[in-house]
Amino acid sequence: MPRFAANLSMMFTEVPFLDRFAAAADAGFDAVEFLFPYDFAADDVGERLHRNGLTQALFNLFPGNWEKGERGFAARPDHFEELKASVQKALPYAAATGVKRLHLMAGIADRRDDKNVASFRRAVAWTAETLVKHNLDVVIEPINPRDVPEYFLNDFDFATDLIEDMKLPNLKLQFDVYHRQIVHGDVTMALRAMMPLIGHIQIASVPSRNEPAGEELNYPFLFDELDRLGYRGFVGCEYRPKGKTTDGLGWFKPYAKAKAGARA
């Protein structure tokens, strides 16, 4: 059965961020993820996480000025120092939460420019080699161009080719089903082919990015497929609830009940 992680940047936004850990635990989640923790002290984030008996599945390295459209530094040749600083900024939060993987965002850059490709490879190598010293994986995520126009990493084949070519033991693929369906489709066959490279999975409905129920994808089938494939990582619920978060958790209730039964 998949291990679901509530995304606290999108879910339970009815309450302040630090209170969302308790809300997720009360709803039956035993893991969480979020985009960025950097507006809060690392110890405060870790305390809320552990107080509620939760596991931290993932968070992102600092991306720059999000409000001004920055989405990371890795593929931007003139921003290598900012990339290195973002890794150092994340380490206290990794220590406080016990997270095992961090997402390196590529940034807004043209992948047809060889300088940007070289910058991305350099940043991936440096980040992976730095994080392995802390027993951390780095994941890279293709993002669809509809949600983030001009994002450098918007192709799953490019991402998997790079991972296979670089052969870094702690470099993994972040497979967001929502992005995969929009960019390429063929989700099930891609999961089967790419599973050896996958370090984290995320879900949302397509095209709305709401609860993973209905619309284009048969999520119960995909959840069973993850079991068939032997996936043991986390499935991040990176979706925007249509209304109050708890009102939209009907899709999750069978899995929460199964977990409760297993604990009993």
**Dist CA 75 CA 79 (whole Å):** 8
Please state the length of the chain. Answer: 264
> With contact defined as beta carbons under 8 Å apart, do 151 and 108 qualify?
yes
- Let me know: does 53 contact 21? Beta carbons within 8 Å: no
Two structure tokens written together for 191 = 């999961």
Q: Which of 33, 82, 211, 238 is catalytic?
A: 238
Active site residue 150: no
- Amino acid identity of residue 21, one-letter, is F
Spatial CA neighbour of 75 closest among 33, 21, 118, 23: 118
Q: Which of 33, 82, 141, 211 is catalytic?
A: 141
Measured distance between the N- and C-terminal CA atoms of the chain, rounded to whole angstroms: 16
141 is catalytic: yes
Q: Which helix (H) or strand (E) holds 125?
A: helix 114-131
Tokens, residue 186? 């063929």
Classify 173 as helix, strand or coil: strand
User: Rounded to an integer, what distance in angstroms lies between the CA atom of residue 198 and that of residue 180?
Assistant: 13
Query: Which residues are bridge partners to 106 per DSSP?
Result: 72
Give the phi and the psi of residue 236 in degrees, each rounded to 5.
-80, 130
50 burial level (CB within 10 Å; 0-12, 13-18, 19+): middle
C-alpha count within 13 angstroms, C-beta hemisphere, residue 151: 25
Residues marked as catalytic: 141, 238
